[in-house]
């Protein structure tokens, strides 16, 4: 696993406790569990590697119309996505690596990943 792995986060959820025998693969300044695996049977990712800019903007605009977000929050999310987007090809490699049993946690101290997150 690389030290930095950009991902979109659009939630307030956080993993507090892992299932027995689960292993943390990535953490950030927001949470101690950004990504984990349970042997070769399950992998959990806190963010949304599948989201495109269009999906994120559609969700943000809907929440704005429902008065669940402020204009400034949506503006920050849009600006952050314009600066850097998750590398979908790399995320495909991460998922394939897990399925093929080759996904390993970062051994050195991890730095917080750069994330595109919208705090609610």
Residue 65 maps to a domain: yes
The pLDDT of residue 114: 44
For the whole prediction, is pTM greater than 0.75?
Answer: no
Residue 2 maps to a domain: no
CA angle 93, 98, 99 (to 5 degrees): 95
Q: Single out the residue of 49, 19, 51 nearest to residue 33, CA to CA.
A: 19
Tens of pLDDT along 7-37?
777 766 788 889 999 999 888 887 888 889 9
- Domain of residue 86, residue span: 7-117
Cβ 118 vs Cβ 77: under 8 Å: yes
Residue ranges in the chain modelled with pLDDT below 50? 108-120
The pLDDT of residue 13: 75
| Count of domains observed in the chain | 1
The pLDDT of residue 1: 62
Residue 13 maps to a domain: yes
């Amino acid at each position: 696993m690389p030290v930095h792995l950009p991902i979109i986060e659009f939630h307030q959820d956080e993993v507090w406790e892992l299932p027995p025998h689960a292993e943390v693969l990535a953490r950030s300044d927001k949470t101690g569990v950004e990504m984990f695996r349970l042997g070769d049977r399950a992998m959990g990712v806190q963010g949304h590697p599948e989201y495109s800019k269009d999906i994120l903007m559609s969700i943000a605009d809907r929440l704005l119309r429902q008065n669940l977000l402020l204009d400034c929050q949506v503006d920050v999310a849009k600006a952050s996505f314009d600066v850097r987007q998750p590398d979908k090809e790399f995320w495909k490699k991460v998922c394939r690596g897990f399925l093929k049993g080759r996904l390993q946690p970062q051994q050195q101290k991890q730095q917080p990943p750069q994330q595109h997150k919208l705090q609610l």
